[in-house]
Chain A
């Protein structure tokens, strides 16, 4: 299979703590890979490694065959930070127009990305005056600019209503079907079923890696939350 990301022995130290402790994993093209685990287990840290903004990384992490963080990769990755990283004092369109110019993508992309996150009707609203869910959708829209080959999405569906969440997951799968690799993190286990493949993380190590069905079967339970708990108990 064609992999967007291949990592071997990935370790990261933040402060004096070893946050990621020897990870081996791949993120395949054409699938939605879920990165799930409890708060503080290292999901955001792993994503920061992939986009090349995390310091003190050891091990090898290749993205499209190049070391993570390489200059040539920067225009091929769409990154959604966990907290909305957009300018509060600019309108939605101004935000997207700015990032589009930085990325060098066509202005037509702006409307497409706004439609994709269902914000078409609010384009001229200033971000400061948006609801939390609307802000996080602006944040997501920025990552979609220019149709990146790898999408690194840090909890993109937090705080959104079920209808919108559903439509975003449909979009993630459509992006994967169109040939992108999509990595989505979440600490809500009920989103697990929506992923093609799961990486279950706890305290900086993976405790399971496979399709939702395979993970459930191996643990002998019928939902991912139970599987997670039973693997954790088994590991003790």
Chain B
């Protein structure tokens, strides 16, 4: 492993994104617009403020989905374009490649999270008890998790079609079980236990903790679980990426 090579990969991925300003704008703007849409939808509803209840979970879900997809597509492109084969024939550790990706997409996620959190709290009046910046930190951890999972599963996808199918297979169940639709402790026993081993649940819990209370002890614990999953996915990704292919 080498810091120089990891940074080279990250800088290259960012340069590619910079050449594609539309993707960059979509990446930053879409989550903000969706938060605004959510606010508007619940705006005139009487009773409890549903926006305050749902928004934190969405702040966790967006970066996860987006970075999962962006990573799957980018790595598949790298594979089919032959650049992966060339890189693997060079003195590049597999972890250099994976960490480079995680770093680049983590940085993008930081911009994305800062904007989405800024819009939600600044303009849409999201009520947050804990420190607002911590929402962005959880967003970044979550995006890195999405990237790590995308890197891991892309080892199993031979075609773009397969890669896209991993999204409903691996991401949608996590959204259903993360506590957004039904609180996690109100789920049937088995589903609750499944939800306990899915990383997105911890990211959503962390966001909800920040929004709902000013004590941050639980947040750091949940954040650590998310980070742990991300590291595990990166390690699995490195283990499943083969230098030699058939």
Contacts and interface: CB of A to CB of B under 8 A. Distances in A.
Interface stretch (B87-95, B101-109, B139-147): B87-95
Interface of B: 4-5, 7-9, 11-12, 15-16, 19-20, 81-83, 85-92, 242-246
B208 to A, nearest CB: 39
Given A81-B85, A101-B5, A75 B246 contact: no
Contact of A90 (B8, B15, B86): B15
Contact of A85 (B11, B15, B86, B91): B86
A4 to B, nearest CB: 16
A52 B19 CA distance: 32
Interface of A: 14-15, 48, 51-57, 69, 71, 74-75, 77, 79, 81, 83-90, 94, 98-99, 101-104, 126, 142
B246 A102 contact: no
Nearest to B84: A85
A15 B8 CA distance: 35
A53 B81 contact: no
Contacts of A86: 83
B4 A79 contact: no
Q: Which of B5, B88, B244 lies at the interface centre, i.e. has the most chain A CB atoms within 10 A of its CB?
A: B244
B240 to A, nearest CB: 14
Contact of B242 (A55, A74, A83, A87): A55
Given A52-B89, A101-B8, A103-B91, A15 B246 contact: yes
A41 B242 CA distance: 25
B12 A87 contact: yes
Contacts of A87: 12, 16, 81, 83
A53 B243 contact: yes
